[in-house]
Amino acid sequence: MTKSEVMDLVIIVITGPENPKRLPSAFFLASTAAALEQNVLMYFTGPATELLKRGVAESLFPLAGGKSVADFMKLALDNGVRMIGCQQSLELNGMTMADLARDMPFLNPSAALPSLAQARKVLTW
């Protein structure tokens, strides 16, 4: 994400493992927008950062017997959604980069905010 790159849609994800039923919609919206050729970014902060930890999203099922949160995340990634995390939230949740399920960029809020604020639409989830 560069300062000159304007996102069509940014979803700031705050909901974490505490409320798995809320999560699929964020990934569906992001996936749909990306499939419609919009430039989409999901920024994980606060409790949502825990979703990025190896094994966490894989073990969360919004509906018993249904798909995992990791499946919804993969759908978004497969449709071209970009994902970044909040560096301070990584530390707040007692995590390091070695704990992550996949390689991805992490930015502190002061580095992320200028680009996030330029987005055409911002949703907080």
The full set of domain ranges for the chain reads: 9-124
- The confidence band for 27, taking pLDDT boundaries of 50, 70 and 90, is very high
Does residue 30 have a pLDDT over 60? yes
Structure tokens at 56: 């966490």
Region for residue 65 given its phi and psi (left: phi exceeds 0; alpha: psi -120 to 50; beta: otherwise): left
Homologous superfamily of 9-124: DsrEFH-like (3.40.1260.10)
Residue 21: what pLDDT?
95
Phi, psi of 46 (to 5 degrees): 60, -140
Render pLDDT for 61-112 as a digit per residue (tens, 0 to 9).
999 999 999 999 999 999 999 999 999 999 899 999 999 999 999 998 888 8
Residue 2: what pLDDT?
53
Render pLDDT for 38-58 as a digit per residue (tens, 0 to 9).
999 999 999 999 999 999 999
For residues 10-21, average pLDDT: 95
